[in-house]
Amino acid sequence: MQYKLEISNLTKRFGEKTLFEALDLTVTGPVILWAPSGWGKTTLLRILMGLEVPTSGTVTGVGKVGAVFQEDRLCPQLNAIQNVELVLSEGETKYREQIHNDFLQIGLDEAALSLPARKLSGGQKRRAALLRALWAESDTLLLDEPFTGMDPDTMKKAAALLKERCGEKVVLLATHDQEAIQELGWRVMEL
């Protein structure tokens, strides 16, 4: 089923500060959300996740969400593969080899895969967070700066996997990374 995310007349204020007002968006596939720093991209994604309440307006069609937050939100004691397995059905380990291969594809070697998440570099943690979002059963992907801390070659590998896996799914990816925007080649929604 193809989802259609509809944002209607959405406004968000924090006291006197208005982040966005009367925002209308319709998203039916992958898009890049671009706006200057401080505009409220992260807040918009949090509203779509149900973690923040808008001042006014409505959001429909989000469905189940897979997300990469601005911070990685990994379980620090688990390794990268175990962190991805957290989003699978309970006791689901039959995809371990495929998850392992995904990590190899985006540049995490055996040594990194054996470490607890707290010992991974920032870029390695971002790759684990991105794979966790891709493996989660979802209708919508909400990705907040998913390529932070990745070198250009790694970002290209991660972007290629993202494009391959999400297909025409509704994706809102917030980023300032011009290389990532170019690499993904998705429509840019400038706000």
- SS3 of 62-88: CCCEEEECCCCCCCCCCCHHHHHHCCC
List pLDDT tens digits, range 5-45.
Answer: 999 999 999 999 998 999 999 999 999 999 888 889 999 99
Domain layout of the chain by residue ranges: 5-190
Contact status, residue 76 vs residue 117, Cβ threshold 8 Å: yes
DSSP state, 119? G
pTM over 0.85: yes
φ, ψ of residue 75 to 5 degrees: the values are: -80, 115
pLDDT of 91 reads: 62
50-63, pLDDT tens digit by residue? 999 999 999 999 99
Topology of 5-190 in CATH? Rossmann fold (3.40.50)
- The whole-angstrom separation of Cα 120 and Cα 24 is 39
Query: CA dihedral defined by 98, 62, 175, 42, rounded to 10 degrees?
Result: -120
* CA 6 – CA 22 distance, rounded (Å): 13
What is the pLDDT, as a whole number, of residue 36?
A: 81
